[in-house]
Amino acid sequence: MPQIYAVGNQKGGSGKTTTAVNLAAYAALAGRKVLVVDLDPQANCTTHLGVDRELFELTSYDLLVDDAVSLADVLTPSCIDGLMAVPSDEDLGGAEVEMVGEIGRELRLRQALASADDFDLIIIDCPPSLGLLTVNALTAAEALIVPVECEFFALEGVAVLTRNVEIIQERLNPDLKIAAIVPTKFDRRKNLCRDALDYMREFFGKQVTKTVVRTNVSLAEAPTQGEPIALYSPSSHGGEDYRSLAREIFKVRLK
């Protein structure tokens, strides 16, 4: 059975998609069979993975709302061998409303991923909210990766997220763990950034990864080329940091 990770934080722009895509790419380059599920109607993850829009018709929306659609129907290749995607598009925005009245609506993704035996690792990119899409991700996953921007107010959001994780543990998924809190967009020249990182380590202790993802222009450019940093600029700070993060979280062997 694959290991299933959700990458979530209801705060927008915290680095979820960047983290999901780049961790997935390094895990695939280390030889793992990886699936990325784009569960955000913004579809940034789909774009960043270089998924060709000509190659898919069905998306994570269909997987969630249509019983007749199976995982195999929505798998789409990405720009990296060994890395498949379940793409998304703006239609997914309607899924939360459409699923509201349905019994078992929180379990749709978990059920859809039950047939994912061909993969070693599944990474789900969550939208910036704690709505039904994120609840589906947290119910399907065994572990949550939380990217947190190194700024002061970001920490309150993590406390809110942690409480929501406890609710999901009680009601839907007792196995769910917080695997890692990942400091992102770190700029050591800024006092506030350094202070925020210190607070993060103080409050969340060992849950915070040793690897800190620095602010890096290549990481911001890579999505526009539809390439993970591992292809776009592996020797950049962003490349170094996500390679190190993949080693730390997934214990993969990478040079």
Residues that bind ligand ATP (CB under 6 A): 12-18, 40, 42, 44, 128, 184-185, 213, 215-216, 219-220, 223, 238
The residue behind tokens 């129907």 is 73
46 binds Mg ion (CB under 5 A): no
Q: List strand residue ranges (DSSP E) for 111-235, in order.
A: 121-125, 143-149, 177-184
Q: Give the nearest distance from C-beta 40 to ligand ATP in angstroms.
A: 5
Q: Give the nearest distance from C-beta 183 to Mg ion in angstroms.
A: 17
Q: Which of Mg ion, ligand ATP, none interacts with 108 (beta carbon under 5 to 8 A by kind)?
A: none
Looking at the DSSP bridge assignments, the partners of residue 37 are 86, 124
Q: Give the nearest distance from C-beta 12 to ligand ATP in angstroms.
A: 4
The nearer residue to ligand ATP, 40 or 120, going by C-beta atoms, is: 40
Q: Are 35 and 119 in contact (CB under 8 A)?
A: yes
Residue nearest to Mg ion (CB): 17
Cα angle 91, 34, 81; round to 5 = 100
Q: Which of Mg ion, ligand ATP, none interacts with 31 (beta carbon under 5 to 8 A by kind)?
A: none
Q: Which of Mg ion, ligand ATP, none interacts with 18 (beta carbon under 5 to 8 A by kind)?
A: ligand ATP
Q: Which of 9, 17, 60, 216 binds Mg ion (CB under 5 A)?
A: 17
Q: Give the nearest distance from C-beta 12 to Mg ion in angstroms.
A: 8
Q: Is 168 helix (H, G, I), strand (E, B) or coil?
A: helix
Closest of 58, 35, 37 to residue 46, by C-alpha: 37
Q: Which backbone phi and psi does 107 adopt, to 5 degrees?
A: -105, 0
Positive/negative CA dihedral, 98, 50, 27, 157: negative
The nearer residue to ligand ATP, 11 or 110, going by C-beta atoms, is: 11
Please report how many Cα atoms fall inside a 13 Å half-sphere around the Cα of residue 170, on the Cβ side: 6
What does the binding site for Mg ion look like in residue numbers (CB under 5 A)?
A: 16-17, 44
